[in-house]
């Protein structure tokens, strides 16, 4: 269960499948890089996540998967690192759509028999997140109601993915980390107070499982990401 702008909830249906697919892919990429099967760790343009070690990233993805996709009793505390992990999950969705358009699009979405990222994003939007997204599409340039799964305007897909992320993220305060670090301590504390940011929001540290535990963590998150859709 996750603290979203609309209250505590567990993701279901297409929304859950979108997040499940993205986290599963991210875990596979991290494992491949750690074993030398791929060159360089993936980056998601989310500093608070990208700066973690690969084992910390795996641990955070495991925690986020558990709280977003299973019916936990409590919610995960919202910190810079937890919310940055969610942002990275959706940035991966955006990246996969960009790759889909640039390298694999043949003009017919789903032609291979597999659901494309664009199809899943549209299904997620149409299946319940529309109210959270509509307000951002007031301009004809972003006429999402006429967006189709073979659409190739990446700017429309970027905005739609951002809106889907914002239906889960309570805020994007994690983007202010570098700004606050550069401020004097007293001023930084004052800014956090004015903005309503918890004092520990930026100081919470991601868990870093040792080598003897990392395989167990990977297995745990894969058990969730490979679960059947609900």
Q: Which residues of 12-40 are buried (b: 16+ CB within 10 A; e: fewer)?
A: eebbbbbbbbbbbbbbebbbeeeeeeeee
Q: Is the pLDDT of residue 59 over 70?
A: yes
Tell me what pLDDT residue 61 has.
98
Tell me what pLDDT residue 127 has.
80
Q: Is the pLDDT of residue 9 over 70?
A: yes
Model confidence, pTM: 0.85
Tell me what pLDDT residue 113 has.
58
Q: Is the pLDDT of residue 101 over 90?
A: yes
Domain boundaries along the sequence of the chain: 2-225
Strand partners, 200: none
Task: Give the mean model confidence (pLDDT) for residues 163-181.
Answer: 79
Contact predicate 94/158, CB 8 Å: yes
Q: Which residue has the tokens 């490979």?
A: 226
Burial of 184 (0-12, 13-18, 19+ CB in 10 A): exposed
Percent of the chain's residues with pLDDT above 70:
76
pLDDT tens-digit readout, 178-201: 655 655 566 556 555 545 566 678
Computed over every residue of the chain, the mean pLDDT equals 83
Contact predicate 81/229, CB 8 Å: no
Q: How far apart are the first and last CA of the chain?
A: 15
pLDDT tens-digit readout, 135-164: 444 444 456 667 888 889 898 899 999 989
The distance from CA 103 to its chain's CA centroid, rounded to whole angstroms, is 23
Task: Give the mean model confidence (pLDDT) for residues 37-45.
Answer: 83
Distance between CA atoms of residues 230 and 223, nearest Å: 14
Tell me what pLDDT residue 96 has.
96
| Joined tokens for residue 69 | 């996709």
Contact predicate 208/59, CB 8 Å: yes
């Amino acid at each position: 269960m996750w603290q979203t702008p609309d209250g505590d909830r567990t993701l279901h249906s297409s929304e859950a499948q979108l997040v499940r697919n993205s986290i599963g892919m991210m875990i596979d990429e991290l494992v491949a890089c750690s074993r030398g099967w791929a060159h360089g760790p993936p980056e998601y343009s989310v500093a608070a996540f990208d700066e973690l070690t690969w084992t910390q990233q795996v641990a955070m993805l495991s925690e986020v998967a558990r709280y977003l996709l299973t019916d936990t009793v409590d919610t995960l505390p919202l910190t810079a690192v937890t919310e940055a992990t969610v942002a990275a999950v959706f940035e991966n969705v955006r990246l996969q759509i960009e790759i889909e358009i640039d390298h694999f699009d043949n003009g017919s979405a789903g032609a291979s028999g597999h659901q494309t990222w664009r199809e899943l994003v549209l299904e997620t939007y149409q299946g319940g997140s529309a109210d959270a997204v509509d307000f951002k599409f007031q301009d004809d340039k972003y006429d999402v109601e006429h967006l189709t799964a073979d659409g190739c305007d990446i700017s429309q897909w970027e905005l739609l993915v951002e809106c889907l992320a914002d239906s889960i993220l309570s805020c994007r305060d994690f983007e202010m980390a570098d700004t606050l670090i550069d401020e004097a301590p007293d001023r930084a504390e004052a800014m956090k107070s004015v903005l309503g940011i918890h004092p520990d929001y930026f100081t919470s540290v991601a868990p870093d499982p040792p080598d003897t535990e990392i395989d167990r963590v990977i297995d745990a998150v894969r058990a969730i990401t490979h679960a059947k859709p609900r």
